[in-house]
């Protein structure tokens, strides 16, 4: 039980609870995002987790588990309850084949589909410890593993798993829980947990190959290529943009079902649908899912550049292999991006 001394009981309990639980908020947010595929839902479920923990604080037994483990148990159960009434969050490439008509305007925004969302790196404070619940990783392999645990491709693949399999895989392979601990949380057997883990791992092996980060360059090189892409996109420099693309690049643009595969198709589509006008586009580099990203703004009739889309880039040694352009302006606040591009102050 969480104890306090020398203060008014209610006030002391509240301050003590906050002091002991707040350090885990970021990793709980990452955990709920992996489970739900939505930054907004994850934030709501972390709040729900803290509320449940506050109400059950008298039941916490430090002899049985750490506060971190206790909070993750509560968060996992909250996510499983939430998932009972929600379908998976797909990407366009999960639902239809690539389009062959690069001149066709994408039809319909399909707002009825609850799409996968990107996750702002800024919400994790830039460290790897918040991804796995471990101390800051210094081993290069541990840093890569921590970053991979929040990658867009991994979270997209998790969406294909049933909720309990999703929980098993995250708890075992990301948070390194023992099978017996997971079995206790899910009120099942260790054998059932191991079986679910095997099935989940097999399912993840079937993820679309274009989402794999094979031969991935170091992060500074990834950021450089993404920034060059954004600059070429803003200026409609299609020659440069095309050179930056990998041969098997994929471009998808939720909430539109239309998506394109291959350097030629992507280049032709961008040339036809995203040409430059008089100062038409602006962009601000950001980070999402441990990957380079950018907030893109479109000039509207009022002459100002308004939030348009968040582009997340998967970069390999062959070039930019996957561009997920989330055309959801409501994502901008989560990335700390203004709704209107900040114009320079005139003298």
User: What is the pLDDT at residue 319?
Assistant: 95
User: What is the pLDDT at residue 133?
Assistant: 56
Q: What's the rounded Cα separation, in Å, for the pair 17 and 1?
A: 10
Six token digits for residue 333 = 């606040």
Q: What's the rounded Cα separation, in Å, for the pair 71 and 53?
A: 7
107-164 pLDDT, tens digit per residue, is 667 778 999 999 999 998 755 555 555 544 445 455 556 678 899 999 999 999 999 9
User: What is the pLDDT at residue 142?
Assistant: 53
Q: By three-state DSSP, how is residue 347 classified?
A: coil
183-239 pLDDT, tens digit per residue, is 999 999 999 999 999 999 999 888 766 555 556 778 889 999 999 999 999 998 999
Residue 240 has pLDDT above 60, yes or no: yes
28-64 pLDDT, tens digit per residue, is 999 999 999 999 999 999 999 999 999 988 888 777 8
Average pLDDT, the chain: 87
Residue ending a domain, choose from 61, 86, 111: 86
75 within a domain of the structure (yes/no)? yes
- The region, left, alpha or beta by phi > 0 then psi within -120 to 50, assigned to residue 6 is left
User: What is the pLDDT at residue 191?
Assistant: 98
Q: How many CB atoms lie within 10 A of CB 102?
A: 18
**Are 260 and 97 a contacting pair, CB within 8 Å?**
no
230 within a domain of the structure (yes/no)? yes
341 within a domain of the structure (yes/no)? no
Q: What's the rounded Cα separation, in Å, for the pair 284 and 310?
A: 10
Residue 245 has pLDDT above 60, yes or no: yes
User: What is the pLDDT at residue 79?
Assistant: 97
List the CATH number of the domain containing 264. Answer: 3.10.450.50
- The model's confidence at residue 102, banded by pLDDT at 50, 70 and 90, is confident
Q: What's the rounded Cα separation, in Å, for the pair 308 and 283?
A: 10
What DSSP designation does 120 have? Answer: B
User: What is the pLDDT at residue 92?
Assistant: 95
Backbone angles phi, psi at 131, to 5 degrees: -80, -30
Give the residue carrying structure tokens 């994850």: 42
Biggest CA pair distance of the chain: 71
Six token digits for residue 110 = 């399909």
234 within a domain of the structure (yes/no)? yes
Q: What's the rounded Cα separation, in Å, for the pair 313 and 318?
A: 13
Q: In the chain, how many domains are there?
A: 2
User: What is the pLDDT at residue 210?
Assistant: 55
Q: What is the mean pLDDT of residues 154-182?
A: 96
Domain encompassing residue 28: 1-86
Six token digits for residue 7 = 């203060």
290-345 pLDDT, tens digit per residue, is 999 999 999 999 999 999 999 999 999 999 999 999 999 999 999 999 999 998 76
Residue ending a domain, choose from 39, 69, 86: 86
Q: Is the pTM of this model over 0.75?
A: yes
Whether omega before 183 lies within 30 degrees of 0, making that bond cis, reads no
153 within a domain of the structure (yes/no)? no
Q: What's the rounded Cα separation, in Å, for the pair 27 and 175?
A: 10
Residue ending a domain, choose from 27, 57, 86: 86
List the CATH number of the domain containing 75. Answer: 1.10.1740.10
Nearest to 50 by CA among 68, 23, 25, 15: 25
The least confident of 40-44, 179-183, 269-273 is 269-273
Residue 9 has pLDDT above 70, yes or no: no
């Amino acid at each position: 039980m969480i104890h306090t001394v020398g203060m008014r009981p209610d006030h002391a309990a509240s301050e003590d609870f906050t002091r002991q639980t707040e350090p885990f908020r970021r990793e709980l947010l990452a955990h709920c995002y992996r489970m739900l595929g939505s930054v907004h839902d994850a934030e709501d479920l972390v709040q729900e987790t803290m509320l449940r923990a506050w109400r059950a604080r008298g039941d916490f037994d430090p002899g049985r588990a750490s506060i971190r483990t206790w909070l993750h148990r509560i968060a996992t159960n909250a996510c499983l309850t939430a998932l009972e009434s929600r379908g998976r969050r797909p990407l366009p490439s999960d639902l239809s084949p690539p389009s062959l008509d690069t001149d066709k305007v994408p039809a319909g925004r399909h707002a009825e589909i609850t799409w996968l969302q990107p996750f702002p790196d800024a919400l994790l404070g830039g460290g790897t410890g918040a991804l796995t619940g471990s101390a800051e990783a210094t081993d290069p392999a541990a840093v890569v593993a921590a970053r991979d645990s929040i990658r867009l491709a991994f979270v997209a693949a998790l969406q294909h798993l049933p909720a309990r399999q999703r929980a098993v895989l995250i708890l075992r392979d990301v948070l390194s829980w023992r099978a017996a601990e997971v079995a206790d949380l899910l009120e099942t057997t260790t054998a059932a947990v191991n079986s679910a883990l095997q099935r989940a791992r097999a399912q993840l092996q079937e993820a679309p190959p274009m989402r794999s980060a094979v031969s991935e360059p170091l992060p500074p090189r990834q950021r450089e290529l993404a920034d060059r892409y954004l600059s070429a996109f803003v200026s409609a420099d299609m020659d440069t943009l095309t050179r930056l693309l990998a041969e098997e690049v994929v471009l998808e643009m939720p909430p539109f079902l239309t998506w394109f595969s291959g350097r030629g198709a992507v280049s032709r589509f961008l040339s036809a649908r995203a040409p430059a006008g008089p100062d038409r586009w602006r962009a601000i580099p950001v980070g999402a899912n441990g990957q380079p990203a950018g907030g893109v703004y479109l000039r509207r009739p009022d002459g100002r550049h308004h939030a348009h889309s968040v582009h997340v880039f998967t970069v390999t040694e062959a070039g930019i292999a996957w561009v997920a352009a989330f055309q959801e302006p409501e994502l901008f606040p989560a990335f700390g991006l203004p709704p209107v591009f900040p114009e320079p102050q005139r003298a």
